[in-house]
Amino acid sequence: MARLRGLDPLRATALLFIAAGLILIISFFYATSESVAAQHRLDQDWKAQVHVPQVDPTMPPADLQHPINGVDFAISIPKLHYFAAVKEGISSTALYDGPGHYPQTPWPGDPGTVGVAAHNVYWINFPKLAPGDEVDLQTRYGNYRYHVTGSRIVNPDDRTVLIPNDAGFHLTLTTCWPLWAGAFATQRYVIFTEQFWPQTQKPGNV
């Protein structure tokens, strides 16, 4: 105790900040490991319980377009060896351990833009995606395949990047930017895609 009382005040303050920083780092990695484990369980449940039909899902059945145990569908990106079950909603609770479906956007197979969001720590390598890369959405009624068409960094209040009733069949992915900034990110990273399977009715595609 005598040694502690003899510490220089500046040094004591520095040691307190270091200790607090270590506690925050340990807490972050613990919470992250817990959320990754929870997402892994969801992914395994999807793969074990859901048989994705391999037929052409031209007419999505409305009775299957609802969450079951909180999960809407799954996302798969072959280039990144990425797979995740996608939950309903984009609240902090829904996105705690993985991606979520914007509830105001369509389901895969319906006209418009499907919206999926995730925390940046889970999509840290998504900037590797380039135009032409494939993104798949697995549903209980079929598989929908999209090609990346581009990406953009925007401000959080930019509503033009996700228009649910946009003409065509699209998928938009959003996360916080910079990806390494975690909760301190101030912008959004947006990836745009267009459905190429099943083929949709549009000019030049009959």
Q: Give yes or no for a contact between 82 and 124, defined as CB atoms under 8 angstroms apart.
A: no
> CATH number of 44-197: 3.90.420.10, 2.40.260.10, 1.10.10.10, 2.40.50.140?
2.40.260.10
Query: Can you list the residues of the chain whose pLDDT is less than 50?
Result: 1, 24-31, 203-206
Q: Is 63 in a helix, a strand, or coil?
A: helix
Interacting residues of 97 by C-beta distance below 8 A, sequence separation 6+: 34, 35, 36, 38, 39, 42
Q: Burial, 111: exposed, middle or buried (Cβ in 10 Å; 0-12, 13-18, 19+)?
A: middle
User: Cα dist. 175→151, 156, 182 in Å?
Assistant: 11, 10, 10
**Domain boundaries in the chain?**
44-197
- pLDDT score, position 28: 45
SS3 59: coil
Residue 201: what pLDDT? 63
pLDDT of residue 19: 63
Residue-wise pLDDT tens digits, 74-89: 999 999 999 999 999 9
* CA gap 179, 175 in Å, rounded: 8
How high is the pLDDT of residue 206? 39
Q: Are strands 112-117 and 187-197 parallel, antiparallel or unpaired?
A: unpaired
Residue 180 has a pLDDT of 84
Please report the pLDDT score of residue 203 as a whole number: 44
